[in-house]
Amino acid sequence: MPLIVKVCGVSPLLYRLGGEDRFLIWISDAKGSFIVDAEGFIQSFAKAAVLRAYADQNHNELEDEEAILHDLDWFALWTKAPNAQIVPTWSREEVASLTELLTVGLDLFKSRTRFYPVER
C-alpha cells in the first residue's frame, strides 16, 4: 500500500537515466523530498499520465508546471571521464571528490527507486 502524504508544493520531476525518461513526484518543502511507497522506495513513472493518476489516487494535488529534464545520464557519463574544465576551476582532488560523490549518489538513487506500477 502506498504511503499517503498530504503536502503543499507537489510537482512532477522528469529525469533521464539509462537512456530512459521517467517521472518522480517532487515535494517542495523545507527538506525537499520525493513521494515514496510504504517500503521507502521512490516511485518512478514511465508516463506523466500514470504519475498524475497515482497522485490523484493518493490525494496529492500536483502543481501545473512543465517538468524540466534532469539528465542523470550526463552525470553518469561525466563520472567516467571527468572534465576538469569546470567554472570555477577545480583541483584534481576536488574533481575526484565530486566524481566519487556523484557515483555514490547515482548508485543510491538507483537502489532506492522503484518503477510504478510495481511488478511482482
CB-based contacts of 114, cutoff 8 Å, min separation 6: 37, 39, 41, 42, 43, 44
Instruction: Note the pLDDT of residue 40.
Output: 93
Flag whether 4 is in a domain.
no
Question: What is the Cα–Cα distance from 95 to 118, expressed in whole angstroms?
Answer: 37
User: SS3 helix, strand, coil % of the chain, rounded to 5?
Assistant: 30, 30, 40
Flag whether 3 is in a domain.
no
Question: Number of structural domains, the chain?
Answer: 1
Question: For 21-61, what is each residue's pLDDT tens digit?
Answer: 999 999 888 788 999 989 999 999 999 999 999 999 988 88
Cβ count near 44 (within 10 Å): 20
Flag whether 84 is in a domain.
yes
Q: What is the pTM of this model?
A: 0.81
pLDDT band at 2 (very low <50, low <70, confident <90, very high): low
CB-based contacts of 42, cutoff 8 Å, min separation 6: 24, 34, 35, 36, 109, 112, 113, 114
Is residue 5's pLDDT more than 60? no
pLDDT band at 64 (very low <50, low <70, confident <90, very high): confident
Flag whether 5 is in a domain.
no
Question: For 70-118, what is each residue's pLDDT tens digit?
Answer: 999 999 998 888 765 666 778 889 888 999 999 999 999 999 999 998 6
Flag whether 62 is in a domain.
yes
